[in-house]
Structure 1
Amino acid sequence: MFSVPQSSKSEFLDKARQAREERKGQKEKERAAILIQALVRRFLCRCRLQKQIRKEVDDYFQASETGTSKRNALSIFKIARKLLFIYRPEDKMKFEKLCRAILASMEVENEPKVWYVSLALSKDLTIPWLKQIKDVLWTCCQLLKNLKPDILQDNKLVTLYLTMLVTFTDTLTWRIVRGKGEALRPALTRICENIMGHLNQKGFYSILQILLTNGLARSKPSLSKGTLTAIFTLSLRPVIAAHFSENLLRSFLIHIMSVPAIISHLNVLTPEVKTHDLLRKFILFLSREEQCLDICVCLEGSHTLCLLGNLIQLGYLNEKVLEEEANHFVKDLTDMLSYCQRYVSQKKSNLTHWHPVLGWFSQTVDYGLNESMPLVTKQLQHLWGVSVIRTLFSDVLSKKLESQEPTPPPPQPSTSQNNLPVKNLFKRAFQKSASVRNILKPVGGKRVDSAEVQKVCSICVLYQTALSTLTQIRLQILTGLTHLDDLLPKLWAFICELGPQGGLKLFMECLNNDTEESKQLLAMLMLFCDCSRHLIT
C-alpha cells in the first residue's frame, strides 16, 4: 500500500546523478574560465611590463647619448637589472648598449661613483652586483657562440663581448685598485675568480672553442691579433687562478689546444703572448696513461691530431723544455699516435672516411677541419725537422764514430754531378761520418736495459708509430729523418753496440720474445731499415 514503484525510484536517482554531474561540469567550466582569464591577464600584464621596461631602457640610453642625464654606477646597475629581467633574443641591441655603457663607466678617470665595479664594495649591493655581472658575462658568452668573426658587424660585437669578459675577469684595468685602492686588490681578485668559476661551470671553454674554431679553422684566419690575444688570455686566466689544476688543464687541452693550428696562429700573430710554461705542464699531465687516453677519447681522431700538432709546435718553440722533458714528451706523442692508429684502415670500406693525413679512418671525420689541415701538417712536420730530431736523438748524434776519415773538400759543381743517382746519397752519408767497414762492425757491450738505450728505443717507437699512422705523409717523415747525414750512420753504430756481442743475434732473439722491450728494440732496427730503404730506392 505504501511502497514506491521501482521505476519512480530509478528516475529519482538518475535525476540526482545528472544534477550532480551538471554541477560538477559547471564548476569545471568556471575553473577553466578563471584559469584562461588568469593566463591571458598574466600574458597581457607581462607584455605591458616588458613594453614599459623596454621603453625605460630605451629612454635611459637615449638620455645618456643626448647628454641630458649623467650615468653613474647605480643607474647602470638598476637599468641592467630591468633589462636582464625581460631579456629576450630580440633585445640584443639593448644589451649591446648596456655593455658599452658599462665599459664606458670603467674608463672614466677619478670618479669612483661612476665606475660600475665600485658597487662591489657596497655592503648592500655586493651580492646583487655579483649575480648581475655573472648574468651579463654569461649572456656575452652565449652571444659570442653564434657570431661569425669573418662578418664585419659580427667582428665588432666579438670585440665588444670579449672586452667585457677581459675587463671583469681580472683587476688589471680597474682604476679602483690604483693608488690607495691597492689594498682592495686581493678581495676584488677573489671576486674575479668567483666570476670565472661560475663561467666555467656554465661551459666557458666550450664557447671559446666554438669562437676559435669559427675564426681559425680556415686557410686564412679571420681573427685579428687583438681578438686572438684576448681569447687566449681569457682561456688562460681560469687555469692560472686555479694554479694549473688537473680539471682545468684537461678542459684547456680538450677545448683550446685541440683547435687546429692555434699555436701556429699565436706564433704568427701574437708571438709575445706568455705561455706560462704550459708545455711542461701539458707533458706531465699527459704522461699518465689514463689521462692521455681520456683526452683522446673525448677528442676522437681528427681533433687528437690537431692537439698533437699544437704540442709538437710548442716543443719546437720551447727547445729547453723539450730537452728536459724528452722522455715524457715522446711517450705522450706515442700514446696519442697509437690511439689514432687503432682507427687507421688500409682500404676503403662502408665504415671508413677519408682523412687528408690519416688516410682511410674508421672514426667520424670532422670535414670542417679540412681547410686547416695544411697548417696542421706543417705543425706535424716539426717532429721530423732538424731541430727536434737533434734534440730527441742527442744521445745518438753526440757520439763520435771511430776511425773518422778526413772530410774531403766539396767538389766543384758540374753538370754531370748534378745528375748523380739517389743511391749515392746513401753512400755519401756513410762516408761523411766514418768508413763503412768500421760502422758495420758489431762491437757490443751496451746493456739494453740502460736508460740511454731505453730512451733511443722509445724515440724510434715514436717515429715508427708516426710512419704507420700518418699514412698520407709517410714519405715526408722518411725524408725528414734522412735529411741529417750523420743520423743513420750513428744510429747503426748505436745498434751495433747493443747486447753483449753486438750484431743481429740480439734482434733474432727479440723475434722469439713477445715482450715490450723486444718490440722497442725491433722498432729501432725497423726505423733504420725503413730510412735506409727510402734513401736507396
Structure 2
Amino acid sequence: MGLSYNDVLLPILWKFLVDLGPNCGLKSFLELLSQAPNSTIHPVFSLLTVFCDAASHFIITLDDIEMYEQGRLFKLEDYVKISEFLNCFVFRVIWNNLIDTTAALTSDVFGSTRGLLNILYERDCRRSYTPPNHWLIRDVKPSVFMAELEKGKKPAVFLMQRLPHIIPFSERVKLFRRHVNKEKEAMGFTESACTSPQSTLISVHRSRIVEDGYRQLAQLPTKSMKGLIRVKFINEQGLDEAGIDQDGVFKEFLEETISLVFDPSLNLFKVTSEQKLYPSSTSYIQENHLSLFEFVGKMLGKAVYEGIVVEVPFAPFFLTQMLGHQQSATYSSLDELPSLDPELAKNLSYVKHYDGDVDDLGLTFSLDEDIMGRVETHELVPGGKAIPVTNENKIRYVHLMAHFRMYKQIKDQTQAFIRGFKGVINSDWLLILSAPELQKLISGDNAELDIQDLRRNTQYYGGYHNNHKVINWMWDILGKDFNREEKGLFLKFVTSCSKPPLLGFSNLEPPFSVRCVEVSDDQDTGDTVGSVLKGFFNIRKRDPVGRLPTSSTCFNLLKLPNYQKKSTLREKLRYAISSNTGFELS
C-alpha cells in the first residue's frame, strides 16, 4: 500500500515495462514462461508483480475525476496499453498451457496480473476509455474456443470463467442460450413437449393482470416456472377471450405484467435522472412488497429464459448488484454512485477533494431523508449523528454515504428481486456477462435495425408474400425513408421493443409476421380462402385510405392494409408508429 502511493515508483516500473519491447515485452515474458515450470521466480516477474499489485491498490482509490480528467500518474492511453498487455499475457498463460498449468495459475504473477486486469476491465465497463473490440483476443477464432469449451477442455473452461470478455459477446449469448436449451431438454421441456400436459394454465382478468399473475405464479415451483405457462385472458365483461397458447398470449401477459410492475407510479421502482430503474426505498407502502419484488424478479427471469426481449432499462449500479459484482474486494460504491444520484456524487467528490478544513462544512456521519413529508435520520455508523466529518475521516464518510444510498437503503428489496431472478436464471450462466451486457440480454441490442435480416426472417399471411408490391414498398420505405429513430418505433410498434434481438431476427419468438387485412380488428375473423386470394392478387373494392396499420405485439404481427399507393403506405405507417399505439388502432 505504501509503494502504491509513491509518485516515483509506479511511473518508473511502467517505463521499464514499456521499454521491454512491443506490447510491454509480451514476447519476452512468454519466452521466459516456456523455459521452465518455476520460471515465474525470475526477477522480471517480481517487478511485474510489484507493478500490478501497487497499481491495483492505487487505481481502485481513484474517482472518475482523478482518472479520466486529472490523469494522476497514468494517462488514459497508458491504461489502454496496460490492459492490452495484461489481457494477452493472462490469456496466453492459460490457453497455451506454456508451463505447468497448476504452477502458473497459483503463482503470484498470475494472481497479480489478473487482478489488475479485472480492475481495468470493470472500470471500462462503467465508463469506457478503450477503443471498440479492445478486449477481444484476435488471433483465436471464437468457433475454435467454443469447440474447446464444449469438449470441457480445462484451459477453455477456466478462461470462460475468468476472462469471458476475450470472446465476442454474441458468442457468449449463444453459450447462454445453449445452457437454457440443455436445461429444458433435461427437464423434458422440449418443443415436442409443448402439447404435453406438463404445463401450467393460469386465468388472468384484464383488470387484474398483476394481481392474478402474482396469486397464481408467485409460489409456483422453480421447475414449473421454467416450463410451459399457458394463459387464458378474461375480458372486462368477465368472458373468456379466445386463444390459449404458449407463445403469443403468454408473451402478451409477460409484457403487460412487466410494464405495470416497473411503472414508477406503483412505487416498487424509481427512476434516476436518466430514466433508469432501481428499487424504491419506500416500497414498503405496498403490502407484501418483498414478495412482490421476488415475483417481479421471477417474471423478468422468465422473459430472459425464454428469450423475450423487454424494454426495461436498469440503472447500471443495480445491474452490478444483480450480477453480484459489488461483492468484489476491488468494488467501490463511490464509482457507480453517479448512475444513481449525480448530485450526491458531485457533493461527495467536493468533500473528498476539499482543500480546507472539512470540519467547517458541518457534516456528520448521518443523513436526513424526507419520506412522504416526514424527516427520517439515518446514521451511517452507530452514533453517527454525533460524529463530525473531518479531514482524517472524510474518505470513510464518502464511501459509507455512497454504500448506504446504493446498497444498504434498498438491500431487502434488491435481495428479494435477485432471489426471484436467479430462481429462474442460473447464477453460473451470468458469470460470463458484464453489467452493460446483462442489460443487452434483457432489452436487446442498441445496434440499428438490420432491415435485410428482418426481411429474411419475416413470415407473411393473408395473401402477402415476399415479392408482393405492398411488401416491397414497405421494405423500401423502412430502408430508405425511415431514420434510425423511426425504425426503432416501427419495431416497437410490432414487437413492443424498439431494440432487435441479440442473435438476429431468426431468434425472435414468435417470428416477425405481416398479414394483409381489409377489415377492422373487431371484425377480423382470421384468414379465409377469399381474403387470401384477394390479398395475393391485389383485389380490393377501394383503396383502404381510411385505415391505419395495426399490430398484435403478442404475436409480433403487423396487420397491414392493402394500399394502392406507396405514398399512402408511407404516410399511414409513419402516423401509426408515431402514435405510440398498437392494438385496435383503426
Q: TM-score, normalised by structure 1?
A: 0.35
Larger radius of gyration: 1
Higher relative contact order (Cα pairs below 8 Å, separated by 6+ residues) = 2
Q: TM-score, normalised by structure 2?
A: 0.33
Structure number with higher helix proportion: 1
